[in-house]
Amino acid sequence: MSEDTEIAFPGMEPAPPPAPPADDAGYRVLARKYRPGSFDALLGQEAMVRTLGNAIARERLAQAWLLTGVRGVGKTSTARIIAKALNCVGADGSGGPTISPCGTCEPCVAIAAGRHMDVVEMDAASNTGVDDVREIIEAVRYASVSARYKIYIVDEVHMLTKNAFNALLKTLEEPPPHVKFIFATTEVNKVPVTVLSRCQRFDLRRVPAETLVTHFADIVAREGAQAEPEALALIARAAEGSVRDGLSVLDQAIAHSGGIVTAQEIREMLGLADRGAVRRLFGLVLAGDAKAALAAVAEQYDLGLDPEMLVRELLELVHAITRARLAPKDDPALSVEERAQLADWAQRLSFPALHRLWQLLLKGLAEVQAAPVPLQAAEMALLRLIHAADLPDPADLVKRIIEGGDAPNLPSRLREGPGTGESAPASPAHAAATLPEPTPAPPPPALPNPTTFEAIVALFRERTEPRLAHILSDELRLVECAPPSLVLAHDKRQSKEQLAAIGRRLSEWTGQDWQVTFTTEGGAPTLHEASLAAEAARLDAARSDPVVAALIAEFPDAELIGVTPEPQRSANAQSR
């Protein structure tokens, strides 16, 4: 038999071919080249590492782990690191499970290369059915070939069908001692609760932008390239907490720039607007210069900027101004000039103005996304921002109307009427900064005390308290009415807050201290019951009228539905 002859025994799969040497592997993208191989290299997951370290040290290993989080935060990498930690034997071959796998023993090397026979990785997106799960169920009965634990890593586990999950439940709850399951998913809400209850769950966090910037700077240095700090900050922001997404952008940026990555190249590559141009456009909007603002939009559009991205950049700027007003934060992606400009706007713009800008831009973004010509929708959104200052502040207007004062001062262009006034309208923020502070409206005069219970109910209706008016007229029974004293009988339908509000409102409106007490016994019929009784009496009296009786006898199917009082009939006749 020659040395190259291989024998495949029944029930044993042939060993996979050896991995090619590193020199022949060719170029690997940065996301694979710098994939973490140990817990020390894992970014931003300290809580999970500490929990797993304590579990391994105390030999309190779960039978299954579920790793969840957004794309690219290291779920699959963490699963492989756990597999190495459980199967590491150390450089001398006598070690046990450890939170710091050596990376040099045969199990560590084979798992890192993806060729260990006892560590099976399965993509649930392409193996979704019951038959695929049955293969796992059949295989777990056999002991591991060479490793301490047989480990099954199932990526995107939420893609399994309902029947596949059900088939896995029993094995997942009571697997053999030598078997461990590691599940990874980006949509944990799609995983059945019966599976979640059988796993230890770890939520991998988004990696902070500051951590990503430091990580990317280290990789750029290892690759022998150069990058501006602002460029790395832009990449970290675009990654949205995903290490893999950020490394993919960085890989493309290094290839695009020839080794020297600049912020301008990142903006062009990602379709981001020049931040200086966005700030200038925002300043034109605040100044109410519609002509210059449209020209600036056209200039950015000619440079290849997507109108949707422009509106997003404006939204981000408004958010940054609001954050700067509430909790200033040093963003490494911002220059000294940008920080100064944000601080100035944060000082000058009020919160209502910032909220209006945000809402109008958010509405404009939806219109840009749905419009057949996005540029036109973006221009109309900016014009709406500029001309929104012609309207009074809604909150101020409602407050003044409720308090009985005059409406707030309108801009001069509205007071002059359409067709007059040539000055450009101010922006919402500009209007908020330049309009004089409104003088507080005087308190409304005290009302005279209502003398009857019916007048009290009418007062609540006039003062737009419909719920309390309904309770007074339909649910409460009058025991005594001697203003400013009132005794009412109530039942269990009213809450304590509603009953207390009756006396409080009367005291506020009349300026006197009303004493409203409640009892559970006695009392006259409610106003609603009295009204129904009076209406029934009027109908009975009308039916006894000879004329009405003759009409009903002449028209047997006719029905008497109401009686109009005499004063109201006279008033109706005079009006006609």
Please name the amino acid found at residue 181. F
Q: Which amino acid is at 1?
A: M
Q: What is the pLDDT of residue 367?
A: 92
Provide the token pair at 202: 């770890």
Task: Tell me how far apart the alpha carbons of residues 409 and 145 are, in angstroms, rounded to a whole number.
Answer: 84
* 157-173 pLDDT, tens digit each: 998 888 888 888 888 88
CATH of 453-524, one of 3.90.10, 1.10.4160, 3.30.300, 1.25.40: 3.30.300
In degrees, to the nearest 5, what angle opens at C-alpha 32 toward C-alphas 27 and 33?
60
Q: Backbone phi, then psi, for 263, in 5-degree steps?
A: -65, -35
Residue 565 — very low, low, confident or very high, per pLDDT cuts 50/70/90?
low
Domain 271-444 has CATH 1.20.272.10: yes
Determine phi and psi for 200, rounding to 5 degrees. -85, 125
**pLDDT for residue 66:** 92
Pairwise pLDDT comparison (21 vs 266), residue with the higher score: 266
Question: What single DSSP character describes residue 24?
Answer: G
The mean pLDDT of 378-396, rounded to a whole number, is: 75
pTM exceeding the 0.95 threshold for the entire prediction: no
Among the four given CATH numbers 3.20.20.140, 3.40.718.10, 3.40.190.10, 1.10.8.60, the one describing domain 209-270: 1.10.8.60
User: How confident is the model at residue 568, as a pLDDT?
Assistant: 52
Q: What is the pLDDT of residue 431?
A: 47
Per-residue pLDDT at 273 exceeds 80: no
Residue whose token pair is 């900027």: 305
What is the rounded average pLDDT of the residues 351-360?
Answer: 87
Nearest Cα residue to 468 out of 503, 444, 510, 492: 503
Write the pLDDT tens digit of every residue in 5-40.
Answer: 343 434 434 444 444 444 445 678 888 888 888 888
| Residue-wise pLDDT tens digits, 430-460 | 544 444 455 555 555 566 778 888 888 888 8
Instruction: Over range 482-511, report the average pLDDT.
Output: 84
Band (pLDDT 50/70/90 cuts) for residue 388 is confident
Dihedral angle over CA of 318, 320, 325, 330, nearest 10 = -160
Burial 230-249 (b: 16+ CB within 10 A, else e): bbbbbbbbbbebbbbbbbbb
Band of pLDDT at residue 412, cut at 50, 70 and 90: very low
What local confidence, expressed as pLDDT, does residue 399 receive? 62
Q: Which of 44, 39, 35, 36 is nearest to 206 (CA)?
A: 44
Distance CA 77, CA 67 (A): 11
Domain boundaries, the chain: 24-203, 209-270, 271-444, 453-524, 529-569
Please state, in angstroms and rounded to a whole number, the distance separating the CA atoms of residues 398 and 14.
80
- Six-digit token string for 185: 């998913």
What is the third-level CATH fold of 24-203?
Rossmann fold (3.40.50)
Percent of the chain with pLDDT over 70: 81
Question: Does residue 183 have a pLDDT over 90?
Answer: yes
Tell me the mean pLDDT in the region 337-361: 84
